[in-house]
Structure 1
Amino acid sequence: MEDGPATVLVVDDSRTKRYLLVSWLTRAGFRTLEAETGGEALDRVGAEPIDLVVLDVRLPDINGFEICERIKAAHPVLPVIHVSAHAIDVVDRTQGLTRGADAYLAEPIEPDELVATAHAVLRYYQARKRAELTAERLARLADTTIAVHSAATFGKLLEAAATGAAEIFQSPAAVIAETFDGDCLAGVCAGPDTAGAVVPWTVDDTGVPTGATVRLDDPDAWRLVEWPAGERLAVAAARLREDRAPLYVVVPAGVNMPGMPVLRQLAQAIAAAVEAQRSYDEEHRIAVTLQRSLLPRRIPDIAGLDLAVRYEPASAQTEVGGDFYELVMLDGHLLMAIGDVAGHSLHAATVMAELRHAVRAYAVEGHQPGVILHRVNELMRTLLPHELATICVLLVHPGTGRVRMASAGHLPPLLAVDGRVEYLQHSAPLLGVRAARPADLEFVVPPGATLVLYTDGLIERRDATIDEGLAALAGRATEVDADLDAFCERLLRELAPPEIHDDVAVVALRRH
């Protein structure tokens, strides 16, 4: 109707009266359809796009009042005008309006009165349709806003944005934005009830001002999806800061209302989510860079031993964590250590760095693992009295495979030999707790055996116990890959969740 003349269905069993009504409405610019019975009228209303029904009260098969009620039950906003040459008293008018009619005309009807009444009820009909469509789109806009702000990654955000735009406008849609690294990506969706996807794309941002603007553009400039044939595109650009690249939301122009208010709001909402995601990604990159700078920069090359390390920071937060490891040769022995400081924050990373350097310092002095942990614990209790940490320290002789180990509440190392696995239990209190500590554990790593140290992020799950996690690790470690790096990678792939909520460190040693 908004793109052409309104369609009026004229329902009357009198051919002469129907002819007159159709003639008056046609001359006034309406498109008309005809029905002779109530049943035919109901069939046409359900099957064809109709904007107004002009309905006789007296029909041969169904009462006009009942037909009106049934039309309104299925199409509440579709206007109905009753016309009648017989039911013309106040009771009839009252019944007709009460049962759903928008107007009631009694014969003799003047042509101008019919046309004016039709225009009047259609104005209300159009306004109500726009209001209901706007309300529906705003509800979908709210859902889309939640979805884009909940997205875990930049790509997922663009997928959610494009899918949401397609649902809001019931049309193909594209959303284009730039990552904080400067990569321009487009989320595209072919239509409602269709999954979104992300593809690379480039846009010329020249002249795009700050704020939200909307322009019409040719489909050739945005060949991202199959757009409706012969229709221009509405391109909303939202730029929150002068130093940031703008975001674009592209949909067919025909689906928008005058002023395109919902499209503008959608672009601004997605731009806010994109800005937050950019900041998050940038902070996470800085945090990870800082965290890695506090860990060993290289793995020592030791005759007779293979070493491999995997470290994955938590992907669900920007804060740096407290997981750490150590691999360094001291006086012919390999110092191995792995630990975890409680918490995720810059402070936890600072404590982690202090503990790691303290372990190295006491090891350089020639102390055995148990003494190292005792001195580190005293240091923590004096300088960091409110901190807790777990740690496992080992001194390995590469030639003989002899190991001396002390633990402070850390998960037990795993020893894999010829398809058999064993956890090396050494129960002792956490660092930060004053309590008696057991003697060091001594054992030998046989030739061909693999020793695995790890932090709790590898095996802990919210839906499983710690024993189930240890059993899962033991099952995966019965077979050790020829490439030790590939083995550590496989452990992370098979045991760590897709979105890592806690840092994961894995250190593996294999004796030739």
Structure 2
Amino acid sequence: MAMPLSTARDTTVLVVDDVDANRCAMGAVLSRAGHRVVSLSTASAALVELDTRLRAGALPDAALVDVGLPDLDGFELCRRIKSHPGTAPMPVVHFSAASITPHDRSRGLDAGAEAYLTVPVEPEEIQAVIRAALRGARLRHESAALAGRLSRLAEATAALHLARCPQELADAAAAAAIPLTSGPVTAFVFGTNAFLHAGGVARPAQATEIPALAVLLRRAMAGCTGVRSVLAPAPLWPPELFGIEGARLVLARGKADQPPVCLAVPARLPYGQETEELLSRLAQSLAVAAESLRTYAEERHIALTLQRSFLPQSAPRLPGADIALRYVPASSRAEIGGDFYTALNTPAGLLVGVGDVVGHSLDAATVMVELRHALRAYATDHHEPAALVRRLDRMLQHYHPEATATLCLALIDPDTGETRIADAGHLPPLLLPHRGEASFIDTRGPLLGLGLRHPPSTRLQLGSCDGLLMVTDGLVERRGTDLADSLDDLRRTAAAAPPGTEALCDTLLDRFGDDLEDDVALLALRLSAGRGPSPSA
């Protein structure tokens, strides 16, 4: 009797029996059913044969093992087969003419065998048991393979959402799809300005191919949402485009107003329904990730525009001091935060400061704008830094109870050099004396928005040509680097910078400003010559 779906002629069965006549009989029964048969007389020979075939990638599909072998009994042989990861999936069927009690059959099943035959046995039963064992093994193999592919699909979905730009997303999608198809895959993602990014390409795209391909993908998905699979034969799919001549396109998008994403596989390769379903799921995940990237890019653009529109692009002219200001957004792959600076001329002196709303993107930028405007409004009546910090703390608690922020404010009398500083969870300001070593000013307090008690302002005396440097943490915080080490590096770099506040800011950005993970605000101030008491005063 042949196995269904013609699997019998594609299978090899190992028969292990020390009796020649039994081996021949079993082999004849299996051969008639279409199996290839490998016959051996000892357990040792069977283990050697399995090891050799395992190395060659040609393991038998099943083993029919006599219980009463002369060197190792069939139970021990089965245990050894099942204990090795490479041979454990192979089904084992025990048979015996002597060990036929329920205890013997139980020993065989406990050793890991799939079935136990008592001899004499009809040929049809042998064939049926082998078919059942092979069917179970095949189902287990297919289930394990599907579980592995679903696991890779889950990992791929997670990897897609780690992409920081459309090109990274396209590359990640192509890399994720290849193990699912065991064949070449090209992924396409539309980026900003409708530019089409290709991942997993076999060769660089020509300048004329991308626009034509973008039109093809949009037309293929016209009026559709969800997932759609279409065939794009040559010449619709240009020959050799991205190494694929004729393609099966798996397109997806969540909204009709969004551009589609696409996974392209060769049309000539046969993919089953399971592979198509996995590609469809991956395409859906790719569409979600692409939409998230576009939403993030739009929000980042709004936040950056808001940030820049409310921060002065040039330093104000303040009597008695030279001031330089800088705002540098994070790298294009990082989020915009709520960093800001301020420099005001008040009746009590120069009020300068830097701050940072905790969090990123549009929410942080919006709170930053309100915080900065509130500071300017409060400063018209109150000039003491600690009092301003307390009022800003109450404002955040009332209008933005979920928000917190750091802030460092300094009020400087340019005529006397008298300075008062209030710090709310921010990096301490760096004192840059005209003569002497640079040092951080010891001032601290809790974050804004927590409702905690803020200490009085710290007082110090600045001399003629002395300077202050205030920065947000995005300038110096780096993963894997101790903040104390970064601050010491900042201190030494600032102390060695050329004269002038503009040169100081340029030096710091040259040293620390590459590939910023967070946005940065800097404020550098130096009292003019002849202002403030002399250093010896």
TM-score by length of 1: 0.69
For 1:62-461, list aligned pairs within 5 A.
62-74=72-84, 75-84=87-96, 87=99, 92-107=104-119, 110-149=122-161, 175-180=187-192, 182-186=194-198, 188=200, 204-205=216-217, 206-208=219-221, 209-213=224-228, 221-223=241-243, 236-249=250-263, 258=274, 260-298=276-314, 307=324, 309-312=326-329, 320-326=337-343, 337-340=352-355, 342-344=357-359, 345-355=364-374, 358=377, 371=383, 386=398, 389-392=407-410, 407-409=421-423, 411-415=428-432, 420-423=437-440, 441-445=461-465, 452-459=469-476
Q: Which residue number in structure 1 is paired with residue 47 of structure 2?
A: 42
Q: Secondary structure at the match of 1:499?
A: coil
The answer on whether the counterparts of 2:220 and 2:230 sit within 8 Å (CA) in structure 1 is no
The answer on whether the counterparts of 1:309 and 1:488 sit within 8 Å (CA) in structure 2 is no
Shift of 1:97: 4.0
Q: Secondary structure at the match of 2:328?
A: strand
Root mean square deviation of aligned Cα: 5.3
Q: Relative to 1, partners in 2 of residues 1:243 and 1:44: Cα closer, same or farther, differing over 3 Å?
A: farther
Q: Which residue number in structure 2 is paired with residue 194 of structure 1?
A: none
The answer on whether the counterparts of 2:166 and 2:197 sit within 8 Å (CA) in structure 1 is no
Q: Relative to 1, partners in 2 of residues 1:150 and 1:125: Cα closer, same or farther, differing over 3 Å?
A: same
Q: Which residue number in structure 2 is paired with residue 195 of structure 1?
A: none
The answer on whether the counterparts of 2:12 and 2:38 sit within 8 Å (CA) in structure 1 is yes
The answer on whether the counterparts of 1:415 and 1:424 sit within 8 Å (CA) in structure 2 is no
Report the AA paired with residue 101 of structure 1: A
Q: Secondary structure at the match of 1:42?
A: helix
Sequence identity (%)? 30
Shift of 1:179: 3.5
Inter-partner Cα distance in structure 1 for 2:434 and 2:481:
27
The answer on whether the counterparts of 2:343 and 2:352 sit within 8 Å (CA) in structure 1 is yes
Inter-partner Cα distance in structure 2 for 1:309 and 1:73:
66
Report the AA paired with residue 512 of structure 2: L
The answer on whether the counterparts of 1:403 and 1:445 sit within 8 Å (CA) in structure 2 is no
The answer on whether the counterparts of 2:315 and 2:323 sit within 8 Å (CA) in structure 1 is no
The answer on whether the counterparts of 1:163 and 1:189 sit within 8 Å (CA) in structure 2 is no
Aligned residues: 474
Q: Relative to 1, partners in 2 of residues 1:382 and 1:107: Cα closer, same or farther, differing over 3 Å?
A: closer
The answer on whether the counterparts of 2:160 and 2:172 sit within 8 Å (CA) in structure 1 is yes
For 1:48-63, list aligned pairs within 5 A.
48-63=58-73
Shift of 1:34: 3.7
> Can you give the 5+ residue segments of structure 1 that lack an aligned partner in the other structure?
191-199, 225-230
TM-score by length of 2: 0.67
Q: Relative to 1, partners in 2 of residues 1:45 and 1:270: Cα closer, same or farther, differing over 3 Å?
A: farther
Inter-partner Cα distance in structure 1 for 2:252 and 2:272:
17
Q: Deviations over 1:322-342 (max 9, x none)?
A: 5224499x9xxx978332265
Inter-partner Cα distance in structure 1 for 2:101 and 2:458:
104
The answer on whether the counterparts of 2:251 and 2:283 sit within 8 Å (CA) in structure 1 is yes
Shift of 1:348: 1.9
Shift of 1:427: 8.7
> Can you give the 5+ residue segments of structure 2 that lack an aligned partner in the other structure?
1-5, 234-238, 400-404, 530-537
Shift of 1:144: 4.0
Inter-partner Cα distance in structure 1 for 2:454 and 2:68:
97
Q: Secondary structure at the match of 1:443?
A: coil
